[in-house]
Amino acid sequence: MPANIVVPEVGESIVDARIAKWLRKEGDTVSAGDPLVELETDKIDLEVGAPQSGVLSRIDRQDGEDVKVGEVLGIIEEAAGGTADVARETDVAGDADVAGDMDVAQPEAPPAPGPARAAAAPAPAAPAAQVSPARSATPAEAVRPRATPAARKAAEQNAVDLSRVPGTGDAGRVMRRDVEKAAGAQTPAPRASSPAAVPRPAPPVPEASARQGERTEERVRMSKRRATIARRLVEAQSTAAMLSTFNEVDMSAVMALRERHKGPFKERHGIGLGIASFFVTASVGALRAFPRLNAEIQGDEMVLKHYYDIGVAVGASEGLVVPVLRDADTLSFAAIEGQIRDFARRAEDGSLSLADLKGGTFTITNGGVFGSLLSTPILNPPQVGILGLHKIQERPVALNGQVQIRPMMYVALTYDHRIVDGAEAVQFLVRLKDLVQDPGALLLE
């Protein structure tokens, strides 16, 4: 019987998607679970797999179209005399994880050109007794390597054969970092020089001619995520009474503590000791003292939250994402640093899940990693507070009647003035400053 290919339900907050790319074309033979089409949503990107084996007989919605959850994208018909498909499915039974119904990942491109698709067609079915589940029984390229879309795009750009790249992701999935490593290991064979092959130098272009060239423009459609970020930023400014307050933190004590303990910390936990863990822990302490910054507005009520799920803004090539540290008040410095580094890696290779991004009671964003000295962060609704960190810079400061050079950082707190008073916001930053400048006090938190 025919089977519909539909836009799956990803999460209750996602109601539509955009078709990024069809991975198969009409008339292709597919097996159940083979990835067919890439979809973009405002939070994650994913692949939709074939609901059954057969032939992709019809594609109803094309690349670039916006679709709703549950909408039909195309139809798969059972293959005529479906024994070939049954044999092919049996051949890859040991590789059932090659392509699931849905892979959460960043957008990617198809594998680098290989043998013609006709070479990948399944062979006529063998008698049941001769069918082997071994992968070697599968015709060349019949099974699409399990890889993230970002990895496939990198493979195409670097002319890397995905089937030869060992994967380090979950269940052996090939990640972009694996492709980049493989591309770096490739050494092209030297080519013999030939007088005929030596290019003739182009005549010099007069300076005046270079200035007379066309001034080109490029029109690029925003991705679903970028469009959603733009919409939410405008909504935040139009629905919340946002106001920012500032302070500066002397980072001397934190820098000295890190210098003393960075070696043993890395040896014990396998990760570096950054500043994020200090500010996450200090934020929790300040939120305990001023709970309305850990709340949200629902109608005419304030919902005060007595748990601390701290969102950490992470920049990725497809746009900013805010994965969440759950129950941050219970996490050690090592756990905080490890999770943040894992978020950054998965944000870039496209393996963050929707669960990683849901919720959050307060957000921290660090523009200092890009060199920002001072900025006013925008709220992440429905949260009512966001802390902005900035570049650590040595500046002269007056201490006990003397001028000293200290590593200083400006911090900014943007808050929703509808439920947070200015005095609370200022005192929140003062409390946070005190905790960071006296790292020993963090132990009491």
**Residues annotated as part of the active site:** 417, 421
Preceding amide of 127 cis, omega within 30: no
87/363 Cα distance (integer angstroms) = 52
55/28 Cα distance (integer angstroms) = 6
Q: Which two tokens stand for residue 311?
A: 């969102």
103/50 Cα distance (integer angstroms) = 12
